[in-house]
């Protein structure tokens, strides 16, 4: 009969390694050495493949295949004074990642992994990264699922960017540094009516024609690329196309409306051309009827 002593740092046993992080299905070995010769023997107490009392200075714990999630093991030594002391071996069993990526909703889901509470997810947008915890309802060491959400407010500067998620274990400085698992890269496409007419004219600007010609520029930026529609005064003999540039041959006077439109909206740019009073040079004033706005939608 031996009297058990409270676990303390003074217990003369040394375990190598002092902790174990092992993948489910793999094997591991831990050597327990005694630092005293005042003992009757030593051994491993475990809920999984322990050893009996061994009259030796060291005893190994050999696990050929880990097939359970919660393993409690401790190395003990029976001393000559009739007492027993022990040290517990921290054991973490993990299962590697299998993840999928939802194209809409920005959710990174990690499936059938253990231990879930050791998982961190990094979101990588372009060259910027954000580390988030992987949310789960699991509370034990068995394999479970977790997820991480990422919120992105679509801006026109996001168009053409990239987004991915990366999952890895965080076992701390004493644990193994396992390679992270990355999702496929998502290419971001922002659909937006952010019409910004490249050519801007102030009111009452006189434009000089060359050889009786005048050019009106309605070029705008947007995604998808806008389509153009011109409304010109009658009778005007100009052949009106569907592009952003309108080349005029006199006479010029009248109101010219250019509509730039895509699936997200439209904007009108208006040119009002009148004859200059002192010269046969038309003057042109510009009026933006519709103020440009940004209403963005993010597609993947």
| Three-state secondary structure call for residue 107 | strand
pLDDT of residue 289: 34
141 close to 47: Cβ distance less than 8 angstroms: no
Identify the top-confidence range among 18-32, 98-112, 184-198: 18-32
Average of pLDDT values for 87-102? 78
- Kindly indicate the confidence band of residue 203, based on its pLDDT and cuts at 50, 70 and 90: very low
Q: pLDDT exceeding 70 applies to what percent of the chain?
A: 77
Is the pLDDT at 71 greater than 70, yes or no?
yes
pLDDT of residue 104: 55
How many DSSP H helices and E strands does the chain contain? Answer: 0, 26
pLDDT single digits (tens) 231-264: 888 766 566 778 888 888 766 777 888 888 888 8
pLDDT of residue 224: 86
d(CA 47, CA 74): 10
Is the pLDDT at 296 greater than 70, yes or no?
no
Which residues does 262 contact at the CB level (< 8 Å), separation at least 6?
Answer: 191, 193, 222, 223, 224, 225, 226, 227
Residue 156 φ/ψ, nearest 5 degrees: -65, -25
Tokens of 152: 């992105």
Q: How far is CA 109 from CA 40, 139, 149, 210, 232, in A?
A: 53, 17, 9, 64, 56
pLDDT of residue 300: 44
- Kindly indicate the confidence band of residue 193, based on its pLDDT and cuts at 50, 70 and 90: confident
What sign does the dihedral 107-112-117-123 (CA atoms) show?
A: negative
| Three-state secondary structure call for residue 193 | coil
Is the pLDDT at 152 greater than 50, yes or no?
yes
Average of pLDDT values for 31-49? 89
């Amino acid at each position: 009969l031996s009297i058990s002593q409270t676990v303390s740092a003074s217990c003369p046993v040394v375990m190598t390694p002092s902790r174990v992080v092992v993948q489910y299905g793999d094997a591991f070995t831990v050597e327990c050495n005694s630092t005293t010769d005042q003992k009757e023997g030593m051994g491993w107490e475990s809920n999984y493949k322990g050893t009996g009392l061994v009259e030796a200075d060291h005893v190994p714990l050999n696990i050929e295949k880990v097939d359970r999630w919660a393993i409690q093991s401790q190395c003990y030594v029976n001393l000559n004074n009739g007492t027993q002391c022990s040290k517990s071996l921290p054991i973490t069993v993990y299962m590697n990642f299998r993840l999928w990526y939802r194209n809409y909703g920005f959710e990174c889901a990690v499936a059938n992994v253990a231990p879930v509470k050791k998982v961190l997810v990094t979101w990588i947008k372009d060259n910027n990264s954000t580390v988030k915890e992987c949310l789960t309802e699991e509370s034990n060491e068995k394999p479970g699922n977790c997820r991480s959400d990422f919120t992105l407010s679509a801006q026109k500067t996001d168009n053409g960017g990239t987004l991915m998620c990366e999952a890895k274990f965080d076992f701390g400085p004493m644990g193994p540094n396992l390679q992270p698992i990355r999702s496929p890269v998502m290419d971001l496409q922002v659909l937006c009516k952010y019409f910004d007419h490249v050519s801007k004219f102030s009111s009452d600007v006189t434009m000089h024609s060359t050889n009786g010609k005048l050019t009106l520029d309605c070029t705008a930026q947007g995604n998808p690329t806008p389509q153009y529609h011109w409304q010109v005064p009658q009778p005007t003999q100009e052949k009106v196309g569907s592009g952003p540039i309108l080349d005029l041959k006199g006479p010029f006077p009248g109101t010219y409306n250019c509509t730039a439109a895509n699936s997200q909206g439209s904007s009108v740019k208006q040119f009002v051309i009148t004859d200059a009073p002192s010269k046969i040079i038309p003057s042109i004033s510009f009026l933006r009827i519709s103020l440009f706005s940004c209403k963005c939608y993010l597609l993947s």
